Structure 1
Amino acid sequence: MYPNLYYALRELFGIHLPFLKIFNTFGFFVAIAFIAAAYVFTQELKRREKLGLMHGTIEKIVIGKPASQSELLGYALVGFILGFKFLGIVFQWSTASEDLQSYMFSSQGSLIGGLLVAAIMAGREYYTRKQKALPKPEEKQVLVMPHQRVPDITVMAAIGGLVGAKIFHNLENWGDFVQDPVGALLSFSGLTFYGGLIVAAAIILWYARKKEINLRLLVDSVAPALMLAYGIGRMGCHFAGDGDWGVYNSAYTVDVQTGKAVPMAAMTFEEAVQKNAAYFQPKYGGIENIPHITFQKPAGLSFLPDWFFAYGYPHNVINDGVKIAGCDGQYCRVLPIAVFPTPLYEIITCIGLFLVLWAIRKKIKVPGVLFGIYLILNGIERFFIEKIRVDTRYDIFGFHPTQAEIISTLLVIGGALFIFYCRKKHTTSLS
């Protein structure tokens, strides 16, 4: 596993660039997911605009206006934060390099660096706007097309998604949140996809209505992009080893020297648990509480590697597991019994579903139906993957669903109802 980009380059190419420790692998793939989704979203909006299905709106802008005090203060604040932290890493390298991620969320930094970058950013904005300033600012009307609003939508989705993902995760794990609320809110791990999707969707729909964008055409355009983003985002979960994996596959143990899963031929699952009692006992108590499924690689799938069915996630970013023999450093843990690598399954499934949505998008003529199909496919995929994932379960009238199972079920039902509504509305509009 690659907790951050430093470990990735070191393991893959033998390159040592310590400053890359501040770039979390999960965050890197999330950024790639947003960029890819924004590109796909933009292309689909442009296609619909060319067909005359979506139209722009007239907005008034003021040109030739000098920078206001609030704008300069905003640039100075951003500059101070960047200088305080990033120049602080340069000036305080011996301290910061020990744990760069913790350093980024601490009160440590360079006051001089912060003030310097704040002055540079605010000064640059002041002189740039001053050069373009007019004796009398002019008001101008411009046509803004939906695809031109993608950057704004992407930023809102990123912020709303992060906030929503954190809120839903901490609601799902309330006991852990109460014990350490600050750590739970600031940690790099602990994000619930559906929480991010719900909050981001609410913000974007509000924005779209405000900007007079056709909502059904908008959600149709974003459906393939959402599926692609989810698939790429799961790459971050898998390659960082953020704990978002499946239950233990009790058919495999893990070699703590290599981190590789090996068939549990020399011992039983119970014996493997007893061997690693120091890890399992405080975490689960009794063996009956350990979530596991015994699944040997089928003979017909012998061409697939063992890690496709069972993986130990060595050097995972959350430092879960037992100590890897001979490893020194911050990330030296591996799971003692292999788990199902569910992020890998979701990567394959969701990128495949993206290709399906992309292939059928031109064939569906009723606005909103494509998004309904996305909701159904997303819900089905997540519902079944939950069967082998580790998640908090609720007790509801004798049933014990996870938060994701509840939401995914609602998504399937909601998607079917939305398709019915859109088809009915479309038929009514034609008659």
Structure 2
Amino acid sequence: MYPNIYFLVKEWFGVELDFLRMFNTFGLLVACAFLAGAWVLTKELKRLQSKQYLKPVYKKITVGKGAETSTIISNAFFGFILGFKIIGIFTVAGALKNPQDFLLSRQGSLVAGILLAAVAGGYTWYAGNKNKLGKPETREIRYWPHDRVGDMIMLAAIFGFAGAKIFHNLENFDTFIKDPIGSLTSFDGLTFYGGLICAGIAILVYAKKNNINRWHLVDTFGPALMIAYAVGRLGCQVSGDGDWGIPNSAYISTPEGKVVPATFSQYEQTVQNNLAYYQKSLHGVTEVNDVKDVWHKTVKAPSWLPTGFVAYNYTNNVINEGVPLANCEGDWCRQLPVPVFPTPFYEAIMGFILFLILWKIRLKIDAPGVLFGVYLIFNGMERFLIEKIRVNTTSHFLGMHLSQAEIISFFLILAGAAIIVLRKNKKPEIIAIK
């Protein structure tokens, strides 16, 4: 596992560069997920605009007024934060050893913050007044929906992260009560459906405010969300963020981090030796008091398939989950005692396949909203199935033990089917563009 780029460069090239510790692999792949989603979203919006299904909005702006005081102050503020934290991470002793804790602390470089604030504020004033007119002019600017992709991606990032944290803490309320501040500010603990719901609401409100057809918009978001989800799950797999599956009792981990075949008695002995870990780990399906309480499945990899496809022990995982690794010192020196099913990897593969299907059929569907209905069904089915071998907290629902994700995915499938039935005969409106 590579909790940050430092570990990747060290393993691949044998070079240790401390400054690379600040580049978290999960964060980088999440950024790649947003970029992939933005590219698909832009391409689809332009396609619908070319078919005259979407229209632009005209707004009047005033140019030539010079730099506004509020803009100068806001840019100076962001310059201060950038200098205080980003430059500070290279200048404050020990910051690079644990960049996440540093970014959430009160530590930083005050001198760099003040200097960068002055540079940012000064440049904003200079640039604004350079093009200042003697008499400001009012101009009409045309905004197409694809011009607003940046705003929508930013809304998705902010409300998605907030929703993911809220839903995760609702699902793990006992842990939240014990440490509410730590639970809300930590980088781990994110629930995809919480992010999807909250980001979706924010973007729909934004679309209404900017007169964007919401049925066509959600259709463009279907493929975009699917590709973003696939790339994001790669981040979960590469960093080892805890979104993995249940133990595969056909294998155990050696102290050095290797995955080896095991008999069932060897599996039981390994669990017994590490029972303290399983009692406090993420196995929230049932209370763990004995070996038999650990939820597991026994699946041996066929000869043509690498063992890691069915049993992965997540050495050096980013959340420090598991037991100590032999001959490893410093941060992120743990592994899972019994390998688990690498469900993030499975979801990444399924996400890419479902994206390709959506990308193919989008050209054959004209009824606004239907493609999004198909996306909801795909998304719900994929997540409902993966939850059968994924570690998660469960709740009682209709007499069954289901996780929060299973319950939400069940309703997403129903919602997708309902949208398809209600929208399948709708024809897109051709809009005359002036």
In the other structure, the counterpart of 1:333 is 334
Q: Secondary structure in 2 aligned to 1:213?
A: coil
In the other structure, the counterpart of 2:196 is 197
Q: Distance in 2 between matches of 1:280 and 1:50?
A: 56
In the other structure, the counterpart of 1:288 is 292
Q: Distance in 1 between matches of 2:258 and 2:380?
A: 32
Q: Secondary structure in 2 aligned to 1:58?
A: strand
TM-superposed deviation, 1:311: 0.6
Return the letter of the residue paired with 1:292: H
Q: Distance in 2 between matches of 1:96 and 1:137?
A: 48
Q: Distance in 1 between matches of 2:180 and 2:317?
A: 23
In the other structure, the counterpart of 1:389 is 390
Answer with 411-420 or 388-397: which moved more: 388-397
Answer with 160-169 or 284-293: which moved more: 284-293
Q: Distance in 1 between matches of 2:398 and 2:352?
A: 36
Q: Distance in 1 between matches of 2:157 and 2:97?
A: 29
In the other structure, the counterpart of 1:153 is 152
Q: Secondary structure in 2 aligned to 1:253?
A: strand
Aligned pairs (5 A) from 1:86-235:
86-92=86-92, 94-235=93-234
Q: Deviations over 1:42-68 (max 9, x none)?
A: 011111111222111111112112222
In the other structure, the counterpart of 1:24 is 24
In the other structure, the counterpart of 2:285 is none
Return the letter of the residue paired with 1:43: K
Answer with 219-228 or 416-425: which moved more: 416-425
CA contact (8 A) 2:366 2:428 kept: no
Return the letter of the residue paired with 2:307: D
Q: Distance in 1 between matches of 2:86 and 2:141?
A: 39
TM-superposed deviation, 1:41: 0.8
Answer with 276-285 or 19-28: which moved more: 276-285
Q: Secondary structure in 1 aligned to 2:364?
A: coil
Aligned pairs (5 A) from 1:3-82:
3-82=3-82
TM-superposed deviation, 1:365: 1.6
Aligned pairs (5 A) from 1:404-419:
404-419=405-420
In the other structure, the counterpart of 2:284 is none
Return the letter of the residue paired with 1:286: D
TM-superposed deviation, 1:396: 3.0
Aligned pairs (5 A) from 1:290-369:
290-297=294-301, 301-369=302-370
Give the aligned length.
Answer: 424
Cα 1:366–1:281 shift into 2, 3 Å:
closer
Q: Distance in 1 between matches of 2:120 and 2:209?
A: 32
Query: Which of residues 258, 263, 268 is equivalent to 1:270?
Result: 268
Q: Deviations over 1:69-97 (max 9, x none)?
A: 221111111111111112222322x3213
CA contact (8 A) 1:260 1:307 kept: no
Q: Distance in 1 between matches of 2:200 and 2:219?
A: 13
Q: Distance in 1 between matches of 2:429 and 2:96?
A: 64
CA contact (8 A) 2:367 2:428 kept: no
Answer with 39-48 or 335-344: which moved more: 39-48
TM-superposed deviation, 1:20: 1.6
TM-superposed deviation, 1:397: 4.5
Q: Distance in 2 between matches of 1:350 and 1:113?
A: 43
CA contact (8 A) 1:82 1:117 kept: yes
Q: Secondary structure in 1 aligned to 2:27?
A: helix
Q: Deviations over 1:207-226 (max 9, x none)?
A: 11111111111111121111
Return the letter of the residue paired with 1:285: N
TM-superposed deviation, 1:266: 8.1
Return the letter of the residue paired with 1:385: I
Q: Secondary structure in 2 aligned to 1:394?
A: strand
Answer with 248-257 or 349-358: which moved more: 248-257
TM-superposed deviation, 1:136: 2.2
Q: Deviations over 1:117-152 (max 9, x none)?
A: 111111111100010111222111111111111111
TM-superposed deviation, 1:197: 0.5
Q: TM-score, normalised by structure 1?
A: 0.95
CA contact (8 A) 2:18 2:97 kept: no
Q: Distance in 1 between matches of 2:203 and 2:96?
A: 39
Answer with 406-415 or 262-271: which moved more: 262-271
Q: Secondary structure in 2 aligned to 1:339?
A: coil
Q: Distance in 1 between matches of 2:115 and 2:378?
A: 51
CA contact (8 A) 1:248 1:337 kept: yes
TM-superposed deviation, 1:395: 1.9
Return the letter of the residue paired with 2:275: A
Q: Secondary structure in 1 aligned to 2:252?
A: strand
Return the letter of the residue paired with 1:376: I
**Contiguous gaps of at least 5 residues in structure 1:** none
Q: Deviations over 1:290-323 (max 9, x none)?
A: 12112222xxx42110110011000000001111
Q: Distance in 1 between matches of 2:428 and 2:366?
A: 12
Cα 1:224–1:321 shift into 2, 3 Å:
same
